Amino acid sequence: MVGKVFLVGAGPGDAKLITVKGWESIGRADAVVYDRLASPRLLKQMKPGAVKIYVGKRPDRHTMKQEEINQLLVDLALEGKVVVRLKGGDPTIFGRVGEEADLLRKNNIPFEIVPGVTSAISVPAYAGIPVTHRDYASSISIITGHESPDKLDRSIHWDKVTNATGTLVFMMGVSKIGYISEQLIRHGRPAQTPVALIRWGTRAEQDTITGTLEDIEAKVIAANFQPPAVIVVGEVVNQREQLKWAEALPLFGKRILVTRARSQASELVNRIEELGGEPYEFPVIETVIPSGESALESVKQAFGALNTFDWVFFTSVNGVEFFFRHLQQQGKDIRSIHQARVAAVGPSTGEALRKYGIVAEVIQGPFQAEGMLEAFENELKQGQRVLLPHGDLARSWLPEQLRERGLLVTEAIIYDTILAGEDDDELLKLLEEGGIHAMTFTSSSTVTNFMSILKRMGLQDPLPLLKNVEVACIGPVTAKTAEAAGLKVTMMAEEATIESLISVLSDWKRKPATEAVFPANHIN
């Protein structure tokens, strides 16, 4: 059975700038053939077992010739696979999609072209440059710049192109910027015409340089400005100083590693994106129902006695979610604890309970076990029965303190935290190139698992690779674990909440690079 090929535009770099149809195509693919301009985050949408094949091109070398890529798509489809050819920007704008589609057609392989957000328009927009403007330009030309001067002269009619439209956008022409400027001036564009080059637009590495046709080559050379970049020529470039919105965001230019479990990472990821940062998801933990017979039996016994407890203490959102999963599995409902006082550590845990119709007593002190004890110290009585539903890695401090005070404590280990995370060559590459600017840890297990996975990927000593990466922890317990692992913690949330973690990340962006961001009550 013959498969099908989707020729998909990945957008300019920001993973969210792909179309819905493109996103869905990746999710159903058996194989994804991609280049370096496609965001690595898009590959995480691939289903388990799907293969990814890198065919990217760099200025100094080509991983695979275009003819070989064309044949690869045919071969994969003839194996019966659903194939996605993932191309940066839009596949029909200098993406050679016509050549790929033509060979597919000749081999009777069905295909679809899925348009993408072209970098010719979106990259300038992220630099604050609208490619048209009612006062400055009512038309635009998109021109290839990625050719030798003699080829440029054959493919571009300079005498017609130079003044054909108000705005000229050259794709991939950084190394030819001097020749392009020279030809435009020679054919009638004023030497003082504004020019902008935007490299890696919409990504953390986004960088913009501006000048005029007369001086832009010298500026590019002085700045050692490297491709890939989009070149914009025209009066619209002058809008940049008023409209450079992306660079004004608190986390612009920062790629932040998120190690939280995928099921819980969305809030942190979304907030980083809202503030202009680029999150890189690398979940290192996964929470699951305990699989051991003894563990499940102890949970069953604890839930069989729910109507006997005076207190139920929830110390995490995971504790809430798994508590109700067990409750449902055992055919019970929340009326089983109608006589107990329900308490929660922190607003997130309280909000999780509220979704199940439980208005808990939420402690407002330190959002950890110590805060729980401090809040109810005077109300805990000897002989009272306490249920502590938690995970297998929970600290023993709280149950020990409660038992010392004469309370009868039942611990129900309702979920296990296991090692997750696939080997990720792209992450290693980013770390080697300094492309990860900060790492976030939301629990001690995220620290230990992250270090374990790096070692599994071949780094016997990960610390040298991480020495220049800022480390942000959600609280003092996690920070101590990070420091014990050899990491230098430079940021710690004042409260054990995602919002507080985001707050210190924003403060870090505004402070000097050598200045750590800690709450006033940080414990060394």
Joined tokens for residue 420? 């997750």
What average pLDDT score do residues 68-97 get? 95
1 given a catalytic annotation: no
Residue 269 has pLDDT above 60, yes or no: yes
332 given a catalytic annotation: no
Q: pLDDT at position 517, please?
A: 55
Catalytic residue among 35, 87, 176, 491: 35
Provide CB contacts within 8 A for 505, sequence distance 6+: 251, 254, 256, 272, 275, 277, 438, 440, 472, 491
Q: pLDDT at position 292, please?
A: 80
177-220 pLDDT, tens per residue? 999 999 999 999 999 999 999 999 999 999 999 999 999 999 99
Q: pLDDT at position 520, please?
A: 41
282-340 pLDDT, tens per residue? 999 888 999 888 888 889 999 999 999 999 999 888 999 999 999 998 888 888 888 99
Alpha helices in 255-357 (DSSP H): 266-274, 293-304, 317-329, 346-354
What average pLDDT score do residues 415-433 get? 87
Provide CB contacts within 8 A for 374, sequence distance 6+: 363, 365, 366
Q: pLDDT at position 514, please?
A: 46
Catalytic residue among 52, 57, 332, 480: 57
425-480 pLDDT, tens per residue? 889 999 999 999 999 999 899 999 999 999 999 998 999 999 999 999 998 889 99
What average pLDDT score do residues 66-85 get? 96
Residue 409: band (very low, low, confident or very high) from pLDDT cuts 50, 70, 90? very high
d(CA 318, CA 202): 34
Q: pLDDT at position 515, please?
A: 52
Residue 263 has pLDDT above 80, yes or no: no
The bridge status of strand 57-58 relative to strand 140-144 is: unpaired
Catalytic residue among 14, 46, 90, 172: 172
35 given a catalytic annotation: yes
Q: b/e for 70-84, b at 16 or more Cβ within 10 A?
A: bebbbebbeeebbbb
Residue 511: band (very low, low, confident or very high) from pLDDT cuts 50, 70, 90? low
123-170 pLDDT, tens per residue? 999 999 999 999 999 999 999 886 656 666 667 889 999 999 999 999
Mean pLDDT of the chain: 90
